[in-house]
Structure 1
Amino acid sequence: MREFDYRRAGDVAGAVALLGADPDTRYLGGGTNLVDLMKTGVERPTRLIDIRELPLDRVESTRDGGLRIGATVTNADLAAHPEVRRRYPALAQAVLAGASGQLRNMATVGGNLLQRTRCGYFADVTQPCNKRIPGSGCPAVEGEHHNHAILGASEHCVAVHPSDMAVPLTAFDAVVHYETADGPGELPLTEFYLPVGGTPHLETALPAGALITGVDLPPAPVAVRSRYRKVRERASYAFAIGSLAAALDIRDGVVREARLALGAVASRPWRARAAEEVLTGAPAVPETYAAAAEAELAAARPLPHNGYKVTLMRNLVVAVLTELAEEAAR
């Protein structure tokens, strides 16, 4: 790890001013991803701006009945918050499914959204990687890719986004708030992550120098009955090979509203709009859930060694929706 400057920000405006537009400066929250990448040489910042003491560590109800989550709220505090558990249970479940207890005590909401991919080629500076060095190639296409993308990938990058938290946030229409030198701004999470295309090194739509200040969850009565299910290769701390955040509103045997987002299948949390369209207004039966899964996965383009994810995600959608329907019928 090379030497770097360290500053501690006292307020949001000061943090933004310290970073400016310097591409080699990074904000430091919990450091659970950034510091690891600094150790391997993937990230080489010349300055770190510590934002942990900024007044962004609260979860508050909004006037319209939603929630506002500060950027420095820890994952542990988010999962334990009673209003999160009551109104958006899938979000609490997703946070608890991610990382270990020690990491959740340190990791922050803003940092979680900005974490980088866990692709082995990205983490190995001796290997080419279009995310690290644009134009150098993507060895995962022909190499090790069993945990890589089946949706929305390109020949330039087939890595997946590793966040559990971002999956239910996507399903429930979260909005990211940020601050820049020119003032505040916001981005729906569905627009926050950029499509891979030919520029996988451009990961988010955040303006240069922007500091995430929080995330708003709009009111979503359907989210009260929601679930997050994560499939991984071992029961202990591990990244997903596939995950699903789902919520259903069923009345008189008919799906009135559905929210679905898939994780670990694309470079960003994947909002399952096609599946939602099939579900809405249809009978709440397993055949409908299977048709919804098929509609969403029709766009899947698996690689030679990750085709199992298509079957896995199809079964996961049917299983979780069936469980939610049975719960609603009790």
Structure 2
Amino acid sequence: MKIAVDAMGGDNAPQAIIEGVNLAKKDFPEIEFLLYGKEEEIKKYLTDETNITIIHTDEKIESDDEPVKSIRKKKQASMVLAAQAVKNGEADAIFSAGNTGALLAAGLFVVGRIKNVERPGLMTTMPVFTGEKDAGFDFIDMGANADNKPEHLLTYGILGSFYAKKVRHIDNPRVGLLNNGTEETKGSELTKAAYELLAQEESINFVGNVEARDIFSGVADVVVTDGFTGNAVLKSVEGTALSLMSILKTSITDGGLKSKMGALMLKDSLKGMKSTLDYSSHGGAVLFGVKAPVVKTHGSTGPEAVRNTISQIKTMLETNLVGELQEFFETPKIKE
């Protein structure tokens, strides 16, 4: 399998990206990597060039570039060339830590949508706090679309269910619809209509509405929402987690000797808590509903998160996730 990597995307590129590739090469020697970016800078961080092809380019998409315009104008940008390689069949998947909007545009306009998937969604696996190792739920849409129709949310339920089965190995994943109450009659016109469609879909295990306060307690394996709401929830969660960690750190440093000694004794537990809050351990965010894996990690990602994302992509390719999705959506079940 071949993965096209935008080596210049992200705050810490190319160092963090290439160091992550080095880690992945040790664990997954069967993967070939196509690295797009400045050859001289990439080579500085490579430990060896086995299963590595470097495609040199001086052009890159910046974090503040307008997404669609940059994809259309910067034809030689590392991200665009990587996406083009997937479209041309030279690579099986694309990975980037760069401009999120530009990667979404590259996925839609270069890689292309699966037939009958009108609006691909952005999905990530979030942690749940049940005490189970690696427990989580797949959250879709996180912001690829600001406006959605009920049919889009039905599609997200199907996409998320496929991912939970294939990548997270859950036999009969529970699909929940994010709403402001668990009752069937609750919600906006969008969620009420989406509820009816999800409830009628025989290919998924729909468990009804779920509330935002409950999604981290394991009420569903897949949580479906519109992109505007999903992005707001994601940013609220990220902000809350950062604030809590900051408050905890301040309390320890300003609490005197007793607090510092207590923190020392709880060092391993605190590390575990931080690890649980870090959803990058599950891999990157997937633009789901396009013809190949298009996967994004946070701009400030480190080498370990890059390695985790490559592992995630490997599983997606090994299980033929996208191929099975194409087969499902090309049947008459889903109308354009």
What's the TM-score bracket when you normalise by the shorter of the two chains? under 0.3
TM-score scaled to structure 2, two decimals?
0.24
Higher strand share: 1
More helix by share: 2
Q: Which has the higher contact order (CA 8 A, sep 6+)?
A: 2
